[in-house]
Structure 1
Amino acid sequence: MTSASLKRESASWSGLVFSLEAPILQGINVTFRGEPTAIIGQNGAGKTTFVKLLKALLKPSSGDIIINGKNIKNTTAAKIASTVGLVFQNPNDQIFKNNVLDEVLFGPLNIGQAPEVARANAEIMLDLVGLLDKAGENPYDLSLAERKMIAVASILAMDTDIVIFDEPTMGQDARGKKKLKEIIRELYAQGKLVLCILHDMDFVAETFGRTVIFSNGKLLYDGPTRQAFAGQAILDTARVEQPHLTQLACKMGYDGVLLKLEELIKR
């Protein structure tokens, strides 16, 4: 496999196997090239294990993980902190400061940004997620959705080449989801690689051109999102449903796989 070398061709896995006693991931061979990619599948499919390997929070028992031409399978999370950012599914597992600004500042300072640069980046990202006015508050006085956005801001402030979101839409209302969609598109426009674990199929359909499907530690599908939701046999195996709009369009008798509201309106 040819490994990637630039921001938009940032990560590849070759023959990846991760095992405690029984293998969790087996025979994963995949390369990501720029386009924001959704990672879907039921709980226990191996999605979070997969991204933790990329972040070096876990190590594979065999296989290689190549980022920008370097094999990181034996490195540490600290050594690639300036390259790979991971927003945890549960912000309570990530947030540990008692001040919102200090929380967002921690990552940039920890990877060596100058204090004035780190503060500027932190304030920009807090403004981006709509929380600059709460910079002096305790994160645990805020809602789950707001704490999720604090975690997002703390990773974005580090300006990593690769940004991984684990269930970013959890607890978010329509406005929060719209903001996340804008953030993902802006990261792509900046040349960054975005990977996103999701159970929200509607968000997948609206936001991602490429989708990979995991089931029981194996990669069942890797390709265009529209085709992902057209393959009923794979969806059944992975126990994943089509987006609600796609199901509605089918019940209304429209042919093909419709993913977005404007497509249904046009029909």
Structure 2
Amino acid sequence: MTSAFDLTGRVALVTGSSRGIGLALAAGLAEAGATLVLNGMDEHRLKASRDALAARFGEDRVAARAFDIVDEDAVAQALTSIEADLGAIDVLVNNAGVQHREPLVDVSLQDWRRVLDTNLTGAFVVGRQTALRMLPRHAGKIINICSVQTDLARPTIGPYTAAKGALRNLTRAMTAEWAGEGLQINGVAPGYIHTEMTQNLVDDEAFNSWILGRTPARRWGTVADVVGPVVWLASSASDYVNGQVVFVDGGMTAVV
């Protein structure tokens, strides 16, 4: 019997996947059988990541496209190129994001817009362009990578918190308009994940102690913790799941 979690033959595009959580999610999708398209803005790093995954999963199963997720013309051109080369995109993971740490009274409008554009507008632009191709086929999975800041707030990350909160309702809006045509749109909200980019927070004794005390699981998450839910939402096993945000946070948002 073929597993409902098997992604063999499916094409998955993961934005912001040249490193960190995005790269780990892409590798997890490939392990489940998907053909990958990596995305990023740094072409050198993107190529290195593509080559590394191609060595693991095969040259014909890993591609890369460098494009700006908020440039709709560039996105449309990239998607047309992907589908011409690899076939229809079955799965989109909107992972690209950026953080900015500064009190709200000090945040420049430029930085506010940069964070909102990357974390929210980019998901809208890539999601809409991908949906335009999925809707005539009456099939497709869109997974928006949210955050515990979808539900919670901390000082100095106001733009990020606003963007991730809005991303949950964008997920619901997409569901309201596209679920009837056979698409499933959901979100995954990671908690505090130990990666190269959060190593400085792990090394901060006070912050690390706060995380361990605030999280019922008493540990940081790992990228592997996030992979399983994303594979599930990308697969046929989640065909009747729509408009949901799955928190992968060790219980952080379940307790006070």
- TM-score using structure 2 length: 0.36
Flag the structure with higher strand content.
Answer: 1
- Taking CA–CA contacts closer than 8 Å with sequence separation of 6 or more, which of the two structures ends up with the larger relative contact order? 1
Flag the structure with higher helix content.
Answer: 2
